[in-house]
Amino acid sequence: MFLVLAAAFILPKFAQRSAPTAASSEPDLMSTHSAVSDKQAESEIQPSPLLNDTRFSEFFNALQKNDFETARTNFLTLSPQLSTEEKTELETQMKLHVDQLATKPPLQPKTPLPTVTSFASIDAKEATQTTTPPLENTDLENTTYAQSSASNKAHLVATFMADVQQENFQAAKSKMLTLTTLLDCETSQILNAALSEAEEKKASRTELARDKPSNLTAKPSDKKLTLPKLVSTNFTVNSTSLSPTGEEKLSQVVKKLQNEPRLSLQLRGYTDGSGTSEYNGLLSQARCEVVKDYFLKNNISQKRISLVSFGETQTKLESDENARRVDIVYREM
């Protein structure tokens, strides 16, 4: 903007002084000289109140050298931190220097002066570089398709995990064939591991029941097991760190596991709906891992712990604060 301003003030004056007509007379030259002298007196630059401010040293040094490009760049850099009065003062100083330069006798430049059209082309180039291209219809269609695909994957993962929990392994394996073609390798491995772990636990329970002698006198530990109530520990936004309250709850769970070896745990991770389905799935998995690590550090066997991550698929009707949690579900070994 400053360069265009400089061109608008300087170039017409140079053009007028460098192209006198053949009919000019000596009185005309004298009147012109008088007008220039009056212009010089009018445009004499008064010291700026900002001159001694170190923030503007580079700006004023550039003006003293008639380096308007550097002055313009420095002004644009400083603008976000300047008040309206300071911006007005700097623009006034720029205009005064342009006027003063226009009233000086023209000198033959060593290199050709840039024309107004060159400044316009520079501004047009800058505008082209900083303009964000509009979103095309094809981009909108791709975005809509991606969102729909993510929603379908999230629903399929949720139904898969429900089948695993209900030990409906045949249906879970059928869904897993489809999920393998839709999900990345790492996510597919996590789901396959959850399915395999559930199958192993069921097989282990079946084997123990088959091998258990039926003619032995029942011991106190053989009585029907009453499962404790579900325990939840909450997290802050995008966090996987346990709060002091959460650690206190987990310590109570550890005591129950130590007193009753037939108990096992299923950790179910959830998130709010602020992120993408893929991100929320990974975040809920990470929160489950943090809770699991707490139990492992307190000498709870890894065989007694299983993980399920639901992301935001089952918390859409809950508040965000309540949705960011891991549920600890007691189960019988």
Q: In this structure, what DSSP letter does residue 165 have? A: H
Q: Over pLDDT 70: what percentage of the chain?
A: 68
Residues 161-220 pLDDT 10s? 888 888 899 898 998 889 888 888 878 888 888 888 888 888 888 877 765 554 444 455
Q: Quote the pLDDT of residue 179.
A: 85
Position 152 pLDDT exceeds 80 = no
Residues 44-54 pLDDT 10s? 567 888 888 88
Position 100 pLDDT exceeds 80 = no
Q: Torsions phi, psi of 263, nearest 5?
A: -85, 140
Asked if residue 116 lies in contact with residue 7, where contact means CB atoms within 8 angstroms, the answer is: yes
Q: Quote the pLDDT of residue 161.
A: 86
Position 43 pLDDT exceeds 80 = no
Q: Quote the pLDDT of residue 213.
A: 53
Alpha-carbon distances, residue 59 vs 15, 73, 94, 149, 305 (angstroms): 28, 9, 9, 55, 67
Can you spell out the DSSP letters for 81-123?
Answer: G--HHHHHHHHHHHHHHHHHHHHSPP---SSPPPPHHHHHHHH
Q: What is the pTM of this model?
A: 0.36
Q: Quote the pLDDT of residue 47.
A: 80
CA 279 to chain centroid, in Å, comes to 13
pLDDT higher for 171 or 108?
171
Residues 131-142 pLDDT 10s? 455 555 555 555
Q: Over pLDDT 90: what percentage of the chain?
A: 26
Q: Quote the pLDDT of residue 26.
A: 47
Residues 290-309 pLDDT 10s? 999 999 999 999 999 999 99
Helices H, strands E: what count in the chain?
A: 12, 4
CA atoms within 13 A on the CB side of 264: 16
Residues 29-40 pLDDT 10s? 455 445 545 545
Instruction: Report how far residue 61's alpha carbon sits from residue 54's, in angstroms, rounded to the nearest whole number.
Output: 11
